[in-house]
Amino acid sequence: MENVFIGSEALARGELTEFELRRWHRPIFRDVYSSANSVPSLRERTTAAWLRSHRRGVVAGIAASALHGASWVDPDVSIELIAPRIRRQDGLTVRQEALADDEITRVAGIPVTTRVRTAFDLGRHLPRDEAVARLDALMRSQIFSVEDVLVLAKRYSGARGLKSLRKALPLVDGGAASPRETRLRLLYIDAGLPRPTTQIPIVEGRGRLVRMADMGWEEFMVVSEYDGDQHRTDRRQYTKDIRSLRRARELGWIVDQVIKEDRDDEIVRRAWTALVSRGWKP
């Protein structure tokens, strides 16, 4: 039997008794079960949602981005389907939207919106900052065409959220390595600083790479590094970071290390001051 299955179908085939179903399995969604001895993974919950739609739904949104390889998706995220009407239940979001055949692909045997259609939906249905972070992660996993997303916007000119989509798309940058890096980049842009570029190579000598900086302004030799949790938990990585950042400063780069406890105004002030000191004229 599959790890995720429709309970009524298993009972009809005689694979389980009613007692065995209740005793050894637990429902993920109505009539869709997995083993009671483990916590369902995101992939299992996605499969369960598709089965709950009687195999007629198409996985969309954040869950679709995860199937396409995007990172930073929590296992308990609500699974989105474009499907006929299904009774409302926790952990499942159903949208009744138009969906053309060329906007559907298959991943691990499950119908999923294509990468471009997934981007189209993320940009329309999420708040700007979250939308850009999700789009960054999708772009980082594999480049998609922003122009193709805009073609879909023309196809569905009356769809909800197109204004939000058009605001988010120009901000997408697949160089962001985490949602917090995306948020930091948007903070700089919203504050009126020059748009930072991501993954800036800092080199010395005959091109030896010292460090790939998170983001910054290469022409001014100013970079910003977001220090995440791995800098506290991985001593080896922490030591490597300290040495490479020290060398970057010796080479003349201004390096601002940002931590989550920093206030937004402090972060902007430091970057503003650094850029002005290097000749940027606001």
- DSSP for 5-22? EEHHHHHHTTSS-HHHHH
Across the beta sheet with 104-107, what order do the strands follow? Answer: 92-95, 79-82, 58-60, 110-113, 104-107
Low-confidence ranges of the chain (pLDDT < 50): none
pLDDT at 2: 79
Strand partners, 113: 104
pLDDT 10s digits, 225-263: 998 765 567 778 778 888 999 999 999 999 999 999 999
pLDDT at 65: 98
pLDDT at 34: 97
User: Could you give the C-alpha distances from 214 to 85, 132, 138, 203, in angstroms and in order?
Assistant: 44, 17, 18, 14
Give me the domains of the chain, ranges plus CATH numbers.
Answer: 41-171 (no CATH), 179-277 (3.40.960.10)
Average pLDDT in the chain = 95
- pTM here is 0.93
pLDDT at 228: 73
Long-range contacts of 17-20 (CB under 8 A, 24+ apart): none
- Beta 110-113 vs 104-107: how paired, if at all? antiparallel
CA 6 – CA 29 distance, rounded (Å): 9
